Amino acid sequence: MLTLVSDVFLTDHFLIKGTVENKYTRLSQLLDGHRKRFLKIKDATLVDLKSRDRIQTPLLHINLDEVLLAHEFLDHSNDTTMAQISRTAEWDHRVRVFYTGALNLEVAGEIRPDSYEVTDHRRGRFFVMRNPSVRGLEWDGDDDLKLLDNLEYAIMNRERLAYIYDFNN
């Protein structure tokens, strides 16, 4: 059964969907500014990536070190951040990034130049990729896992990246 959620997280073992508790800003900003190890997710559903079993819980604490990528589902019609992402010329850097571990995941898309690097003005552990294409995960007709297909953007955990193929260098 597909339910409407605002936040989705992918880890090595689970797709987690729910709503971040006390979210006061965009998810990408919240993740970069979050100083605690765990993030609280309300009304969470965990989908096991191997068995497709589901666990539902009213509150889940997720270790941010486990997050590979995240996405926030919003109505973008009045969203100035998404409008800026859509028209900014800087988003022309094509990359393919690889996470390795229990889940060998490949995500290709467009980023700002060197956004996977930590610089003076980008100190957070996450960066945004536009028009991501996810490979290495079998959908098998699962509507929840299909949420990761055709996303407008994904919030990527740079600290979990294993390899980066930057088509521009």
40 domain residue, yes or no:
yes
68 domain residue, yes or no:
yes
E-strand stretches of 85-124 = 93-99, 105-111
CA-derived radius of gyration, the chain? 15
Residues 38/16, Cβ–Cβ less than 8 Å: no
Residue of 37 and 130 predicted with greater confidence: 130
How large is the average pLDDT for residues 118-137? 83
* Cβ count near 107 (within 10 Å): 24
1 domain residue, yes or no:
no
Give the pLDDT confidence of 69-82 residue by residue, as tens digits: 999 987 554 545 55
* Cβ count near 58 (within 10 Å): 9
150 domain residue, yes or no:
yes
How large is the average pLDDT for residues 132-145? 89
Predicted local confidence at residue 2, as pLDDT: 43
Sorted by sequence, the CB contacts under 8 Å of residue 75 that are 6+ apart come out as none
Structural domain count, the chain: 1
Give the pLDDT confidence of 87-126 residue by residue, as tens digits: 555 767 899 999 988 889 999 999 988 888 876 565 678 9
Residues 166/93, Cβ–Cβ less than 8 Å: yes
| CATH code of residue 102 | 2.30.30.100
Residues 62/30, Cβ–Cβ less than 8 Å: no
Domain extent for 32: 7-166
Predicted local confidence at residue 150, as pLDDT: 86
